[in-house]
Structure 1
Amino acid sequence: MVRSVVLSALAAALSATAVYAAIPTCGPNNPCPEATPCCSQYGQCGVGAYCLGGCDPLFSHSLTSCVAAPVCKSSDYKLTSLSDITPNTQYLGDSSKASWVSSGTPVVYQDNSLLLTMAPNTVGTLLSSTHYVWYGKISATMTTSQGAGVVTAFIMMSDVKDEIDFEFVGVDLEHVQSNYYFQGITDYGNGQNLAVSNTVQNVHTYTLDWQPDYITWSIDGRVMRTKNRNETWNATAQQYHFPQTPARIMLSLWPAGLPTNGQGTIDWAGGLVDWNSPYMQNGYFYAMVKDVNVQCYDPPTGYNSSGSKSYVYNSRAGTNDTIAVTNQNTILASFQATGEDPSKNPNAQSSSAAASSPSAGASKSSSAAASASTSAAPETVPGVSGAGNRGEDTSGVQSGGSGSAATGSSSSGSGSSGSGFSQGTTPSTSDAQRMRFVQGGSVAVVVVALGAVLFL
């Protein structure tokens, strides 16, 4: 997959051509302008939520444009309600008030788990942790969705596109794809399929043990793959292409098999999504997540430290030795604020009140996010107020790669009770479909296209 930052593609996201064209873009040798200083994970510039999780410091206006990231927090997250989840249209960086940020619609199921849902004309659901992990042991207990074109994912993603993946393609329920990336650099040799029993019918615990010197991928406590840092040396770049920067946990369900995607993506995903599929219930595809466990490890030896609350980058190299642990602020006063001006809040009663209380006016600002998203500039919520496209079509690639996790619709994600939901039976995957992924790895692509697409 290309730059596995991927967040599924949806043509409707690009329908507002005039708005899309007006949003400044960012990337190598093209940093964001001062007026919209934060480069989102979709390669577009804005303020507010653009400056929070996923803000890329390498392509933002300056290293201080992105807000500092909350440090790792060891915890066992029982995903039994929406009380610890805040929609991305409301979250302003206060990780003490929410452990997860959502886009799309997570739904409570029988008061003991959450469903990631994907209805027609949406790009699914994404949950992202508010706390980052800079090495640790991360486990997710879950089941996946199924069907051609339907992809479930549990990944780690850093703001500079270091990535570690478990990905599940809905036509192969007996394997999970493991993968890793360094700064989003495409390497189709990094992927490896791991055997597992039916991922829809059976609840499994998937674990990433991420150490400074190696990564292991485990299923139900059994180590299935190990990648050592010393195996990732790139002689041309003279550096290790190994994930090494603070990353968020991401759990997602997204439609890789859309007709607007490149043929490589569609082939990797097993075909086009069938929106009349019997695998849909209550009008949507679903994956279930019961628990996420995080055990934080100490930062690497010799790390830069001037505090204990947040991670920042002190160089555009974006490598392990350029991370500092500080006491810098992680909260914005409004969706008009940035890391360069975190106290900016047009809705506050007074500038002094905003300065003394960074969260002041947050509710007013969040309610204004939707209207701000349709205005000329600046854009405030990535994926809601603007779509992005950082990928390319890799049709014809025959091995390696991974189509990554990650994206959600513009729904606020309030969710609802799952009392009427029942999981269906799982028809067997055909041998032909299964062998496509068992042999030769996966074909992948990333076309990132999010948009203001509401559930119908």
Structure 2
Amino acid sequence: MRYLSGLLAAAPLLGLVSAQVSTSCNPLNSTDCPSDPGFGTDYLFNFNTTPSYELWETTAGSVTYDSENGAGFTIKKQGDSPTIRTLFYFFFGRVELLLKVAPGVGIVSSAMWLSDDLDEVDWEFLGVNNTAASTNYFGKGLQDYHNAGVYTTRDNQADFLNYTTVWTKTGIDWYIDGQHVRNLTPDAANKTRNYPQTPMRLSLGIWAGGDPSLPEGTREWAGGNTSYDQGPFTMYVKSARITDYGGGSEYAYGDTSGSWESIKVTGGNSTAYKAIHEVQTPKLSISQKWNNLPAGARIGVYVAAGVVAAVLIGALLWYCIKQRRDGAREARLATEMEKMDL
């Protein structure tokens, strides 16, 4: 694949999503941050149904799931930016995504890894260009926008393409449909300082970089102003295979250096591992179970509930009528007894 220098000229704004991320406790500033729940395993998540609430969370908007396209991330109106994120972390590892990019002026499809101290690894796709994919990285939240690489693809809006990232302490490699497109070494990342090296979790989402409320430079990078009446705009992710090389049930920062050597790994099976391997069916909330039912089944439940309600109402009416009749009969009997006593 060839390098697209024209798109790279927009690199100061590539990875803009990173400017919008935050952390509740940054281990670079505190030694009291809680440990991160590890993944500690390898698993293929097929998004044909809602993923377990023990493993994934929806951080913005709502995401749909179906057997044909997997997870659907849709922008229908201004302010929409549906996003899901793993509740577990991986400490070095491999992530393989089957993803179809959303079309649309100003629309940005993205997959992002982020750590508590704001190390970051990205894939980003612009809806105005269906043959380009951007890779990026950041270290410790430092806003260095000269790290992007942009590569050609086949039509990424018509088909699901495979986007794979392999991350170790010695390098990060990006692949598109099995073809190696980029390698990053720690030394090349500002002499290791900007090299992502702390436990990460994965976020998948879509946002409108062309929203009229955003700065002009952002809208230009995203391809222009987004017209929401041209939507809806949808990114699809059919599956995500995640491998945690760290193998831990928990990961903790041993000091404020942010180096991989400082990370303390607790062994044993993680909560995520147990949820996947020790329970045949991932746990779902009642609302998630309801949403996963076929439309016909939900209609059947409504009909059955209506029948049951009708039966109960009928039984209640019959009981009330019977009680009324019994009461009237007892009243007549009491009247007759009074006449006899007279």
Compute the TM-score of the two structures, normalised by the length of structure 1.
Answer: 0.53
Unpaired stretches in structure 1, ≥5 consecutive residues: 10-40, 43-53, 87-96, 300-307, 332-362, 364-411, 420-456
Q: Kindly indicate which of the two structures has a greater share of residues assigned to helix.
A: 2
Deviation beyond 6 Å, 4+ runs, structure 1:
414-419
Instruction: Specify which of 6, 17, 20 is matched with residue 17 of structure 2.
Output: 6
Equivalent position amino acid for 1:113 in 2: G
Correspondence for 1:426: none
Q: In 1, Cα distance between the equivalents of 2:293 and 2:103?
A: 22
Tell me how far 1:112 sits from its aligned partner.
Answer: 5.2
SS in 2 for 1:6: helix
CA contact (8 A) 2:13 2:218 kept: no
Q: Partners in 2 of 1:265 and 1:116 — Cα distance? A: 21
Equivalent position of 1:295 in the other structure? 243
For 1:55, which of 15, 24, 28 is the aligned residue? 24
- 1:246 matched to which residue of 2? 199
Distance 1:71 1:288 in 2: 24
Alignment equivalent of 2:120, drawn from 163, 167, 187: 163
> Could you say if the C-alpha distance between residues 219 and 114 of structure 1 is closer, same or farther in structure 2, counting changes exceeding 3 Å?
same
Local SS of the residue matching 2:110: strand
CA distance in 2, matches of 1:157, 1:8: 12
Tell me which residue corresponds to 1:320: 260
Q: Report the counterpart of residue 219 of structure 2 in structure 1.
A: 266
Shift of 1:5: 7.3
Does structure 1 retain, via aligned residues, the 8 Å contact 2:49–2:292?
Answer: no
CA 1:415–1:229: 2 relative to 1, 3 Å: farther
The 1-side partners of 2:190 and 2:78 are apart by 42
State the one-letter code of the partner of 2:188.
E
* 1:255 to partner: Cα distance: 1.1
Is the aligned partner of 1:130 residue 2:110? no
Task: Give % identity.
Answer: 22
Distance 1:59 1:258, change over 3 A: farther
Unmatched 5+ stretches in structure 2: 1-11, 272-284, 296-342
Q: What residue identity is the alignment partner of 1:222?
A: Q
- Check conservation: 1:3, 1:186, Cα contact below 8 A: no
Q: Aligned partners of 2:176, 2:293: CA distance in 1, in Å? A: 30
Label 1:164 to 1:125 Cα distance change in 2 as closer, same or farther (>3 A): same
Distance 1:175 1:273 in 2: 19
Deviation of the 1:184 alpha carbon: 1.7
Structure 1 or 2, whichever has the larger Rg, is: 2
Distance 1:415 1:166 in 2: 30
Q: Cα RMSD over matched residues? A: 3.0
The alpha-carbon deviation at position 320 of structure 1 amounts to: 1.3
Which of 87, 104, 111 is the equivalent residue of 1:147?
104
Q: Greater strand percent: which structure? A: 2
| Residue in structure 1 matching 2:41, options 41, 48, 73 | 73
TM-score by length of 2: 0.70
Secondary structure of the equivalent of 2:17? Answer: coil
Matched, 1:175 2:157: no
SS of residue in 1 equivalent to 2:218: helix
Q: 1:311 to 1:146 in 2, by over 3 A?
A: same
Structure 2: how far apart are the matches of 1:256 and 1:122?
11
